[in-house]
């Protein structure tokens, strides 16, 4: 654990798999507790057993082969896949204490993932009009390497991001990932980078200060 991480946030890292429904229930409870001032904010890094999740804009026609459980997630976006080999980050922060700026929060979250990927030699970026984190696949074409999906309730954030370290990419074939059929999905392993979840977590936490500073900067501008 990074020594300089602020203590007002709980930094939780799971070594085992957490069932998606269990994580969703805990997020719901924690969201209410944070909003009520009864719990610390939370950044939670974990992995799920195979599951398809549906966002609030999910189109049933994009669920091509429901080979795994499908869960209504309540986050923004459409269908996505979570499973072994994918690192998921749930970020529950009180924007009343930071910045009531949803776009600014999402932008900072994207930047956090992009900076961490850069530590492992992966060039990644935002793509206008396309949700997620994009990189160059082994065939030279753009492909999604990370997904972003958030929900704001009581001005407390929920959900967050997922990054493909080494999942079975064939499982994305059961859906149209995030409603985008023109582009594929890639992973660090497909790009020739073998990375343990623990190494990913350490790199993410090393960039956490920059992520929080960006939100604090937005907060300062908002309150000015």
Q: Which of 34, 91, 106, 178 is catalytic?
A: 178
Question: Per-residue pLDDT for the chain (224 aa), expressed as one digit of tens each?
Answer: 455 899 999 999 999 999 999 999 999 999 999 999 999 999 999 999 999 999 999 999 999 999 999 999 999 899 999 999 999 999 999 999 887 899 999 999 999 999 999 999 999 999 998 989 999 999 999 999 999 999 999 999 999 999 999 999 999 999 998 778 889 999 999 999 999 999 999 999 999 999 999 998 654 433 32
Under CATH, which number does the domain 9-219 receive?
3.30.930.10
Give the DSSP per-residue string, 68-137.
S-EEE--SSSSEEEE-TTEEEEEEE-BTTSS---HHHHHHHHHHHHHHHHHHTT--EEEETTEEEEEEE-
Q: How many residues does the chain have?
A: 224
Report the C-alpha gap between 61 and 65 in whole angstroms. Answer: 10
Is residue 219 flagged as an active site residue? Answer: no
Inter-residue contact 73 to 157 (CB < 8 Å): no
């Amino acid at each position: 654990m990074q020594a300089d991480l602020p203590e007002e946030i709980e930094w939780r890292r799971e070594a085992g798999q957490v069932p998606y429904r269990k994580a969703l229930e805990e997020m719901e409870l924690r969201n209410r507790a944070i909003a009520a001032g009864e719990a610390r904010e939370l950044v939670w890094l974990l992995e799920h057993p195979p599951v398809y999740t549906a966002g609030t804009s999910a189109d049933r026609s994009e669920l091509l082969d429901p080979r795994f459980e499908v869960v209504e997630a309540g986050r923004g976006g459409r269908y996505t896949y979570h499973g072994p080999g994918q690192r998921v980050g749930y970020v529950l922060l009180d924007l009343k204490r930071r910045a009531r700026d949803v776009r600014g929060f999402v932008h900072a979250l994207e930047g956090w993932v992009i900076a961490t990927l850069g530590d492992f030699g992966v060039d990644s970026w935002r793509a206008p009009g396309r949700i997620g984190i994009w990189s160059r696949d082994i065939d030279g074409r753009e492909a999604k390497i990370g997904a972003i999906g958030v929900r704001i309730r009581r001005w407390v954030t929920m959900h967050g991001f997922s990054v493909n370290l080494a999942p079975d990419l064939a499982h994305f074939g059961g859906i149209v990932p995030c409603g985008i059929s023109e582009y594929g999905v890639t992973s660090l392993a497909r790009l020739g980078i073998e990375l343990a979840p623990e190494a990913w977590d350490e790199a993410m936490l090393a960039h956490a200060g920059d992520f929080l500073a960006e939100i604090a900067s937005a907060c300062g501008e908002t309150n000015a």
